A and B are shown apart, each in its own frame.
Chain A
Amino acid sequence: MAVSRREVWQHGTVVATRQLTPEIRRIEFDVEQPLRADPGAHVDVRVPIRGRQEKRSYSIVDATPDGARIALSVYRSPVTRGGADAMNALAPGDRVELTRPLNDFPLRPGASRYLLLAGGVGITAILGMASALRSAGADYRLVYAGRSRGLMAYLDELVATHGDRLSVHARDEGTTISVPQLIGGLTADTELYICGPIRLMDAVRRAWTERGLPPGSLRMETFGNSGWFDAQPFTVRIPAIGLEAEVGPDQSMLEALEAAGADMMFECRKGECGLCEVRVTALEGDIDHRDVFYSERQKDARGKLCCCVSRVVAGAGGPAVVTTVTS
């Protein structure tokens, strides 16, 4: 299994861009050091945000067989973390620094059945898997959920390619996905690959666990950029080092603490590893846990949070302030 986790940085040159939906833009790059991109692969891109080079991860939607040209798709939410603005501004001829393909979400060939589940822009991580499974003649279903067909990227080509294997759920058509029904109908030999908003992934994980399906058969890709609430500004305090920082809606708490001079520990920066954990000693408002590291029990306890992705939201009319102890 090609599990590529070693970061090799290179340059890529933008060769084409195209607006797919009002919120999602496709950007194609020619890269210096081509490497075949297996399904599930992503690249990390260095993007300038507030004068700093921040790293953002984007799934490879498709690529030429030799990997010389890769396509990414960038989602710009109304309240963005800032990476999308810089990416959306790219035009043909622009050069960026990006990694060779990395893969934390490899597709395993040979399963009896597959369910691919994409929510919104999560389709970017799933689309290549669907193509690969189709080529391999595998038994797969693709479930694609979104707010409205007009906001769902690549929908027409997915319909054309996957036909009956694809089911589309659009909230504005009242066909919202029923997770318990979806997971309840699976056979035990199904492998599920999911990329989507944290709400969807949490619901799937809960249903999966409740049904006692094999934990190894549920595969998730999360870029840690969606929450239960829209991002809003909040205040973080670390009394032990006399630090107080404002976290803007377009930056993470980790980034704000780093910018304020705190010496932070971290690894994945997408809510998976748990290394950026901070302990909460006081809270005004509530925590919007956006990680997949903590269990529901731990999230409900509100004692700790993964500051790379999780945020604080205000209660009605109140402030949003978290007081913490860092490692």
Chain B
Amino acid sequence: MENTSAAIPDLQSVADTINGAIPGAGVTVVSNEGPSGQDSLLFQNKYAEACARWLKQDSPWKMDYLSNATGIDWTEEALKKKLGKDAEPEATAGFLETVYHLYSMQTSAGPLVFRIRTGNRSDDVALPSMTPIWRSAELQEREIFDLYGIHFEGHPDLRRIMMWDSFEGHPMRKDYVEPDDYEYEPTPHADVLKKSATHQNPSKKGGNQ
């Protein structure tokens, strides 16, 4: 099935090569136990741009094509469930993550997956943008910003893309609660409803005689 990934050796050696090429990069491998076996690289935020540039320009596979960029919201409960009850508290603090899928049009290599993580799940989180390296990320990072609330440093045009500009909140977060009515406006009708409720229930204070 995966006849194209033959060009890329196992990810641990890729990580070692990057760590050798970029001192202090600290790239680690995130293993994937599922049947797909698509492991991924975890970049440190500070070195993410340098590592990504290395993959595109200097690596033997020339990963010139960024196919997919997306966000993931890892909540504390999800991590506890994934890592087990005995996991250390630092490991189960929730975070947001971006995942990028790379391929190469020159060498037909791929997929090569890398991820970058934020420190927490607050509204004030930022990650390096990949748009200066692959323009393919431009609209996709805008979508992540819109739906997950991750700010991308270095993105040329970071605006909401799916939701309207005055929208508050980030709908793809796991704890997002949608409003009961997006188009609520106070009207006299609301007062009438309140008054009629007291008709139904005269014992309530303020009820009509």
Same assembly: no
A interface residue numbers (CB < 8 A to B): none
B interface residue numbers (CB < 8 A to A): none
